[in-house]
A and B are shown apart, each in its own frame.
Chain A
């Protein structure tokens, strides 16, 4: 149990285009999902907390108009990188904490999405 699926695994796009990344909890419900970004050889940086049915909470320094987050259901959150630029190239990882499964509160991560902006 507690499987998180992320799609696409990798994407290459042209500068100025928008890219949508999906994060799904396959066998549990998650009212809260977290979006992280990871640059090479660096740790995960929390971008935002995605709450089902409400607006996402963004971390300081993260542009909410550039990184649009939608949490439309208890099993799906999406991150849209709008008007992508080369500096947005990174590894984006979502995570979720199941509320209806016994666990110690650890996060379950998606496989990650590697974005390359040309």
Chain B
């Protein structure tokens, strides 16, 4: 079956660092994605991992361990505008079907 788990909510302080974890169990694996979604809007792409290790892009970094079925998204120097839902998604092999986790709602407080 397909199962993607991530915390429901997290709260962090402006300027701090926050790590959002994601574990997955899927029948196939062809990459893991992180998307950001503000309320009432479509998701926007943040990062992509297909090999083990850390990918860094500005204030955002994403890590993947395929053997553990584990990923995390690291957000540095948090800003108020980072308050949003962060969706972990796994792409299946063949057909490029992408399955989403329930999302983590991040609240950044002053």
Contacts and interface: CB of A to CB of B under 8 A. Distances in A.
Contacts of A49: 95, 97
Interface residues of B, number: 23
B91 A44 contact: no
Contacts of B102: 42-43
Interface residues of A, number: 25
Contact of B43 (A42, A57, A109): A109
A112 B98 contact: no
Interface string A44-77: 1110010000000100000000000000000000
Contact of B42 (A41, A105, A106, A109): A109
A105 B100 CA distance: 15
A43 B103 contact: yes
B48 A112 contact: no
B42 A111 contact: yes
